[in-house]
């Protein structure tokens, strides 16, 4: 099916041919160990250094990334710059034989400083004379490129236990694509790449697999991959391996107070959900002013460990951190809407449901509110920042706005649950890149009709090339 006919089909669905819309992502689990990227290739000499050659290698994973470029045949004892997307990033000096090496590594504590993904790569002299040119992870890469990238797919509310993986490879100039899924209901699905249904996949025995080794007609890299039946999305993800020091997030925190425990009127506690600047989510429960000891915790009725209250200089305190890199229990549940119980012996002294503090509106029919959420940046456009804002006024007029700053200029599109809801331009405002798209229940000039509720929706911003630059799944409760 062509992209035009798919868009036409979407419009028919919205006109009432079918009322079922794609549902949003649930809480994403931890990245599987297989996710990652390995690549190597060469850069083309410009002729400024006759007989010179250069090669690059890349190895990127969630915990550590490395990008390296080696060159030989350059002018001896001369300074050269590694150039990414036209910007010098690293400088080094060739040795007495005209050879040099750029080696940039990152971990969760130290970033690479640039994102080479899909970008032009070059080496130029300190006098800005280009010696080599090439492309990484995009069309136009060298004919000797070897490429192997795996990325995860996550179950939506239609199949919360489902999971999958996509793999894109290049060997001897031939691209191939694989997709494996499991824990899906049996049936016939489409693999939708960047909004275009490309390949059918059959699930039998709750498992399915497709592999195309020849004649691949699309490049999946950096695009959203959906496993869908019509507009119902069962699995989704971005065909891009997580990369330490490249993927980044605006820090987000939602805190909710617990109040005093039963039988301890002077005690207090709180629950807190966080996303740090490396996109690591965490859920933390802290309690204070209770007798020392262990206090078991259940999440949705399942035991999840205990909080040890100890004596500190500020009083008796204890906490339990889920998703903590220092050895805490895994964050293997969706915190939003989770029922948390904290026990003293067999008796629950706290029972609460985490709603995310400011993640949901007031319960009144038209109580005014305004909620702002930071978007998670994928690293495709490393300078970008974004946020989504949902508000309702006292007259029940609702507004929803997505704003992008400090990214690349040009046309961008907003996708809600896998459907393109409109385009907007990022332009210079007072010298700074800015762009926004606005929805309203009573739209004025320049606004679109707000005909959806944000809770539970997957929000994605794509650049003109169909790559997701930022996303966020609005909590459903």
More confident residue, 25 or 208: 208
38: tokens are 């390995």
pLDDT value at 396 more than 80: no
DSSP-assigned letters across all residues of 277-329: TTS-EEEEEEEESS-SEEEEEEETTEEEEEEEEEEETTEEEEEEEET-TTTPP
Mean pLDDT (the chain) is 82
Q: Lowest mean pLDDT: which of 126-130, 218-222, 349-353, 393-397?
A: 393-397
Torsion region of 278: left, alpha or beta (phi above 0 gives left; psi -120 to 50 gives alpha): alpha
- How confident is the model at residue 120, as a pLDDT? 94
DSSP-assigned letters across all residues of 366-412: T--EEEEEEPEE-SSSTT-EEEEEEEE-TT--EEEEEEEESS--EEE
Residue pointed to by tokens 């000499």: 45
247-253 mean pLDDT: 54
pLDDT bucket at 379, cuts 50 / 70 / 90: confident
**Segment 77-123, tens digit of pLDDT:** 999 999 999 999 999 999 988 999 998 887 545 677 788 988 999 99
- How confident is the model at residue 26, as a pLDDT? 30
- How confident is the model at residue 361, as a pLDDT? 44
Is the distance from CB of 333 to CB of 300 less than 8 angstroms? Answer: yes
pLDDT bucket at 359, cuts 50 / 70 / 90: very low
36-57 mean pLDDT: 91
List phi, psi (to 5°) of 8. -65, -40
pLDDT value at 392 more than 70: yes
More confident residue, 46 or 32: 46
Torsion region of 137: left, alpha or beta (phi above 0 gives left; psi -120 to 50 gives alpha): left
pLDDT value at 465 more than 90: no
272-294 mean pLDDT: 82
pLDDT bucket at 252, cuts 50 / 70 / 90: low
245-251 mean pLDDT: 55
Q: What is the pTM of this model?
A: 0.51
Is the four-CA dihedral 253, 254, 260, 262 of positive or negative sign? Answer: negative
- How confident is the model at residue 196, as a pLDDT? 92
- How confident is the model at residue 366, as a pLDDT? 52
pLDDT value at 62 more than 80: no
pLDDT bucket at 364, cuts 50 / 70 / 90: very low
Helix ranges (H only) for 427-466 are none
pLDDT value at 368 more than 70: no
- How confident is the model at residue 326, as a pLDDT? 55
Distance between CA atoms of residues 242 and 379, nearest Å: 9
- How confident is the model at residue 9, as a pLDDT? 30
- How confident is the model at residue 279, as a pLDDT? 52
- How confident is the model at residue 433, as a pLDDT? 86
100: tokens are 């040099």
429-442 mean pLDDT: 85
**Segment 133-189, tens digit of pLDDT:** 999 999 889 999 999 999 999 888 889 889 999 999 999 889 999 999 999 999 999
pLDDT value at 210 more than 90: yes
pLDDT value at 251 more than 70: no
More confident residue, 385 or 169: 169
Q: Which domains does the chain have, with CATH numbers?
A: 22-34+145-238 (2.60.40), 41-135 (2.60.40), 251-353 (2.60.40), 375-473 (2.60.40)
247: tokens are 């993927």
**Segment 286-335, tens digit of pLDDT:** 999 999 999 999 999 999 999 999 999 889 999 999 876 556 788 877 78
- How confident is the model at residue 358, as a pLDDT? 46
pLDDT value at 367 more than 60: no
* Percentage above 70 pLDDT, the chain: 83
416-440 mean pLDDT: 88
- How confident is the model at residue 33, as a pLDDT? 38
- How confident is the model at residue 250, as a pLDDT? 47
- How confident is the model at residue 201, as a pLDDT? 97
- How confident is the model at residue 53, as a pLDDT? 94
């Amino acid at each position: 099916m062509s992209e035009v006919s798919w868009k036409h089909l979407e419009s028919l669905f919205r006109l009432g041919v079918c009322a079922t819309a794609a549902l949003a992502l649930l809480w994403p689990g931890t990245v599987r160990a297989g996710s990652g990227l390995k690549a190597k290739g060469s850069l083309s000499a410009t002729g400024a250094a006759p007989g010179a050659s250069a090669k690059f290698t890349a190895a990127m994973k969630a915990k550590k990334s490395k990008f390296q470029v080696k060159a030989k045949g350059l002018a001896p004892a001369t300074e050269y710059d590694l150039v990414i997307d036209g910007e010098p990033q690293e400088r080094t000096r060739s040795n007495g034989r005209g050879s040099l090496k750029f080696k940039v590594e990152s971990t969760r504590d130290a970033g690479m400083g640039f994102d080479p993904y899909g970008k032009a790569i070059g080496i130029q002299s300190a006098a800005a004379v280009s010696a080599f040119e090439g492309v990484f992870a995009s069309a136009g890469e060298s004919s000797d490129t070897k490429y192997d990238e795996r990325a995860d797919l996550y179950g939506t509310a239609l199949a919360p236990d489902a999971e999958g993986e996509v793999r894109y490879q290049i060997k001897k100039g031939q691209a191939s694509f694989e997709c494996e899924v499991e824990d899906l209901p049996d049936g016939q699905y489409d693999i939708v790449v960047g909004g275009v249904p490309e390949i059918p996949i059959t699930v039998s025995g709750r498992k399915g697999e497709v592999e195309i080794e020849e004649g691949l007609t699309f490049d999946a890299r950096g695009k959203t991959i959906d496993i869908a039946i019509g507009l119902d999305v069962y699995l989704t993800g971005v065909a891009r391996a997580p990369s330490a020091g490249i993927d980044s997030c605006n820090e987000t925190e939602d805190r909710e107070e617990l109040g005093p425990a039963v039988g301890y009127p002077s005690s207090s506690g709180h629950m807190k959900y966080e996303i740090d600047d490396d996109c690591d989510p965490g859920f933390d429960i802290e309690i204070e002013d209770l007798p020392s000891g262990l206090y078991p915790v259940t999440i949705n009725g399942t035991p999840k460990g205990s909080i040890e209250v100890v004596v500190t200089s500020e009083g008796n305190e204890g906490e339990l951190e889920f998703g903590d890199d220092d050895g805490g229990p895994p964050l293997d549940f969706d915190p939003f809407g989770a029922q948390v119980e904290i026990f003293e012996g067999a008796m629950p002294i706290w029972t609460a449901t985490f709603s995310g503090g400011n993640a949901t509106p007031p319960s009144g029919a038209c109580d005014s509110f305004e909620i702002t959420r930071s978007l998670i940046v994928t690293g495709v456009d490393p300078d970008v920042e974004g946020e989504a804002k949902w508000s309702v006024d006292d007259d029940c007029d609702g507004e929803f706005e997505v704003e992008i700053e400090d990214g690349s200029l040009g046309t961008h599109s907003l996708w809600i649950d896998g459907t393109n809801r409109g385009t907007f331009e990022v332009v210079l405002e007072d010298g700074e890149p800015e762009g926004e798209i606005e929805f309203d229940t009573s739209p004025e000039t320049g606004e679109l009709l707000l005909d959806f509720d944000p809770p539970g929706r997957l929000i994605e911003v794509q650049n003109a090339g169909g790559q997701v630059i930022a996303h966020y799944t609005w909590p459903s409760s």
